[in-house]
């Protein structure tokens, strides 16, 4: 059993892109198109090769003898780091295989300001007006799209350094994730080309295992939102087709869905090493399935999705509203109890409690009750302040021990709390949102590249003189959206310009350290090293689907553009309409 647990914990983490699908995935391409020259472990791989920084910190492995774990040490252990070519403000794709420079790896040697050697492409200059900023986001999108179009058209993800592509499910993930973003940004030509691909090429009749959660939030969510924005029946027809092909996932003894579905064969199964599903995954498909039922007038989607929420609602094993990270598809019970996080594997459970309640016209009391209880649980067990600057953060609880570790993923929380407060929930939710947004901003600001690492550890000791410690294995940035997402919500609800300015700084940093010259943006290995950030050769679909969309909405003065009183964003930033309240 312990071996099985270790397997699961070390291996599978969709939030951290550690999917093991490539092992049995017919379209798998982790290494198909060019040799792996990346230096940090590719996080899609077997447990023997991978370390999932998110999970391994909290279970097994480390000796934790105190109630509060202060584990900021070991930063000099970054032995894996080899540096891929770096030429300053824009990454030169064709230089990606140069031998690594002999960089001094000690933290003290890391320059505090971005290096800008003579041969760099000039940094973007803008006066910072709303119009300039919106245009800068559009430019960033066009640049990302150019790379995708040139080297990865119709495939799941762009590999911008090798000018190639990666396949996960073979469903054109980036293209579909981008549809509504292009519509919102008014990129008509690009949208038309993408629509043509959906019409002519997108097929769900293929023998491929897909992850239920990822396919739902990215593909089903993207198709449904594009249908709403455009009114084009094509997207609803595709959504219906996909929805029906995902249904076998729910044929389990407990009605808790399996993680994986073969959409061609109509079969579903859990990961090979366990019969558990991840809690966030099974509870973050509801907005989309419920909307599909509403649009098609076919209740089957809503019924299976609501049943999961009913089961989880009455399940024992919660800790003041906080939920464990796994649930068994046979027994329907929580497993691996005792670890509570707002990060990977649990995050969007909390987000979807609130958002389903809003989507359904605030009529479903169980959802509200679970959400309110969870926020109280977060405040009681997980919220702390740093010793140095009194930054408020959300840590983790591991078998009653507090771990001051926070995933960047947790930065969705301020936006969600603010959305709740906007919808009449307690004012102290907004107070917490304000404090957490400041912390997420600091997670960018305090890094030498101005980009947040994937995970930070906060220091509770004032004597440390610093708030944030970043372990070597946690220094990567995957172009994630959560902080920009929260900045968008905070700006909409407060109109405080600082949130826009913080977003603008983040865009500059993406342009300075992740933009690839021939098109595309890349995730990077080390946010603490502006000279050698270490491009990872991957542009996640959520950079176009979420990060740039939220950035655009943050800078737009049009508060009616996807009004938060009319739309609810799914966890992949695809807007779905809030339903009218049922008659009393």
Any idea which residues carry the catalytic annotation?
214, 347, 454, 482
Separation between Cα atoms, residue 569 and residue 574, nearest integer Å? 5
In the bound state with ligand DMJ, the residue whose beta carbon lies nearer, of 52 and 572, is 572
Please select the residue that binds ligand DMJ; options are 42, 50, 477, 571, rule is CB under 6 A: 571
Supply φ then ψ for residue 516, to 5 degrees: -105, 135
Q: How far is the CB of 60 from ligand DMJ (least distance, A)?
A: 24
* Nearest CA among 343, 408, 418 for reference residue 540: 408
Instruction: Name the residue nearer to ligand DMJ (CB basis): 480 or 500.
Output: 480
User: Tokens 């107070």 sit at which residue?
Assistant: 431
Q: Binders of ligand DMJ: how many residues, by CB under 6 A?
A: 9
State the minimum distance, in angstroms, from the CB of residue 148 to ligand DMJ.
17
377 contacts ligand DMJ (rule: CB under 6 A): no
Task: Verify binding: residue 209, ligand DMJ, rule CB under 6 A.
Answer: no
Looking at beta carbons only, is 367 or 460 nearer to ligand DMJ? 367
Could you count the other beta carbons within 10 Å of the beta carbon of residue 207?
A: 11
Q: Which is nearer to ligand DMJ, 219 or 339 (CB)?
A: 219
What lies within 8 Å, CB to CB, of 278 at 6+ separation is 12, 14, 213, 259, 325, 326, 327, 345
Query: Residue 385 forms beta bridges with which residues?
Result: 392
Structure tokens at 507: 């865009």
CB closer to ligand DMJ, 15 vs 288 = 15
Question: 364 vs 546, which CB is nearer to ligand DMJ?
Answer: 546
* Site map (CB under 6 A) of ligand DMJ, residues 141-170, x = contact: ------------------------------
Q: Which CB, 15 or 92, lies closer to ligand DMJ?
A: 15
> Whose Cβ is closer to ligand DMJ: residue 187's or residue 409's?
409
| Contact by Cβ (8 Å): 573, 205 | no
CB of 348 vs ligand DMJ, minimal distance in Å: 5
Nearer to ligand DMJ, 114 or 453 (CB): 453
Residue nearest to ligand DMJ (CB): 571
CB of 15 to ligand DMJ, least distance (A): 5
Contact (Cβ atoms closer than 8 angstroms) between residue 326 and residue 315: no
Among 7, 15, 339, 350, which residue interacts with ligand DMJ (rule: CB under 6 A)?
Answer: 15
Rounded distance between C-alpha atoms, residue 547 and residue 4, angstroms: 35
Instruction: Kindly tell me which residue out of 257, 481, 520, 575 binds ligand DMJ, with binding defined by CB under 6 A.
Output: 481
Cβ of residue 409: shortest distance to ligand DMJ, in angstroms?
A: 6
CB of 336 to ligand DMJ, least distance (A): 20
The token pair that represents 221 in the structure block: 């969510």
DSSP strand pairing (383-385 vs 401-403): unpaired
CA distance 215 to 193: 22
Q: Which positions from 396 through 425 interact with ligand DMJ, judged by CB under 6 A?
A: 409
Does the protein bind ligand DMJ through residue 348 (CB under 6 A)?
yes
What secondary structure, in 3-state letters, does 404-453 show?
CEEEHHHHHHHHHHHHHHHCCCCHHHHHHHHHHHHHHHHHHHCCCCCCCC
Interface residue with ligand DMJ among 38, 163, 238, 480 (CB under 6 A) is: 480
φ, ψ dihedrals at 56, nearest 5°:
-65, -20
Spatial distance between the Cα atoms of 481 and 492, rounded to a whole number of angstroms: 17
Contact 39, 428 (CB under 8 A): no
Radius of gyration of the chain (CA): 22
Please classify residue 362 by burial: count the beta carbons closer than 10 Å to its beta carbon, then call 0-12 exposed, 13-18 middle and 19+ buried: middle
User: Per rule CB under 6 A, is residue 542 in the interface with ligand DMJ?
Assistant: yes
Check residue 12 for interaction with ligand DMJ (CB under 6 A). no
CB of 447 to ligand DMJ, least distance (A): 17
Which helix (H) or strand (E) segment holds residue 209: the answer is strand 209-211
Nearest approach, Cβ of 113 to ligand DMJ (angstroms)? 28
Whole-number minimum distance, CB 408 to ligand DMJ, in Å? 8
Q: Per rule CB under 6 A, is residue 21 in the interface with ligand DMJ?
A: no
Contact between 572 and ligand DMJ by CB under 6 A: the answer reads yes
533-569 in b/e burial notation, b at 16+ Cβ within 10 A? Answer: bbbbbbbbbbbbbbbbbbbbbbbbeeeeebebeebbb
Q: Which residues make up the interface to ligand DMJ (CB under 6 A)?
A: 15, 348, 409, 480-481, 542, 546, 571-572
């Amino acid at each position: 059993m312990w071996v099985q647990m270790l397997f699961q914990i070390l291996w599978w983490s969709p939030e951290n892109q550690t999917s093991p699908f490539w092992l049995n995935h017919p379209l798998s391409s982790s290494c198909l198109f060019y040799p792996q020259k990346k230096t940090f472990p590719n996080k899609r791989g077997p447990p023997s090769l991978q370390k999932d920084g998110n999970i391994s910190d909290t279970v097994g492995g480390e000796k934790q003898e105190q109630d509060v774990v202060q584990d900021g040490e070991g930063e000099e252990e970054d032995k894996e780091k080899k540096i891929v070519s770096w030429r300053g403000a824009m990454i030169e794709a064709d230089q990606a295989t140069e031998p690594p420079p002999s960089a001094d790896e000690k933290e003290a040697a890391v320059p505090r300001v971005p290096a800008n050697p003579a041969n760099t492409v000039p940094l973007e200059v803008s006066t910072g007006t709303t119009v300039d900023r919106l245009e800068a986001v559009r430019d960033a999108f066009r640049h990302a799209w150019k790379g995708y179009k040139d080297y990865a058209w119709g495939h799941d993800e762009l590999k911008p350094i090798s000018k190639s592509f990666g396949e996960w499910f073979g469903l054109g993930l980036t293209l579909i994730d981008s549809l509504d973003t292009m519509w919102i940004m008014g990129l008509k030509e690009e949208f038309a080309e993408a629509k043509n691909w959906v019409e002519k090429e997108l097929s769900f009749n293929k023998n491929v295992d897909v992850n239920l959660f990822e396919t739902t939030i990215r593909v089903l969510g993207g198709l449904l939102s594009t249908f709403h924005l455009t009114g084009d029946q094509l997207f609803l027809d595709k959504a219906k087709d996909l929805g029906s092909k995902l249904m076998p996932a729910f044929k389990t003894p407990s009605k808790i869905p399996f993680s994986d579905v073969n959409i061609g064969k109509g079969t579903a199964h859990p990961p090979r090493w366990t019969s558990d599903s991840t809690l966030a995954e099974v509870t973050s498909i509801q907005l989309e399935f419920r909307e599909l039922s509403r649009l098609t007038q076919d209740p089957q989607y809503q019924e299976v999705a609501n049943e999961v929420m009913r089961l989880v609602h009455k399940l024992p094993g919660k800790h003041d509203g906080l939920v464990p990270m796994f649930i068994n598809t046979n027994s329907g019970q929580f497993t691996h109890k005792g670890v509570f996080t707002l990060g990977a594997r649990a995050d969007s459970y909390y987000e979807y409690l609130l958002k389903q309640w809003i989507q359904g016209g605030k009529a479903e009391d169980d959802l509200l009750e679970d959400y309110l209880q969870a926020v109280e649980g977060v405040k009681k067990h997980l919220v702390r302040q740093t010793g140095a600057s009194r930054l408020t953060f959300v840590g983790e609880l591991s078998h009653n021990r507090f771990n001051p570790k926070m995933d960047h993923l947790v930065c969705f929380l301020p936006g969600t709390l603010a959305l709740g407060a906007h919808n009449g929930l307690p004012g102290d939710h907004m107070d917490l949102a304000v404090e957490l947004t400041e912390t997420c901003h600091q997670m960018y600001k305090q890094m030498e590249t101005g980009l947040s690492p994937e995970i930070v550890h906060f220091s509770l000791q004032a004597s440390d003189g610093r708030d944030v410690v970043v372990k070597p294995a946690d220094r990567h940035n995957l172009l994630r959206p959560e902080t920009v997402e929260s900045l968008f919500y905070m700006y909409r609800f407060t109109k405080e310009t600082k949130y826009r300015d913080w977003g603008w700084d983040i865009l500059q940093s993406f342009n300075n350290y992740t933009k690839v010259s021939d098109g595309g943006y890349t995730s990077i290995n080390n946010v603490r090293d502006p000279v050698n950030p270490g491009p990872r050769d991957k542009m996640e679909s959520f950079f176009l689907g979420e990060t740039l969309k939220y950035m655009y909405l943050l800078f737009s003065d049009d508060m009616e553009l996807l009004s938060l009183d009319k739309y609810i964003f799914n966890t992949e930033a695809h807007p779905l309409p809030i339903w009218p309240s049922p008659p009393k």
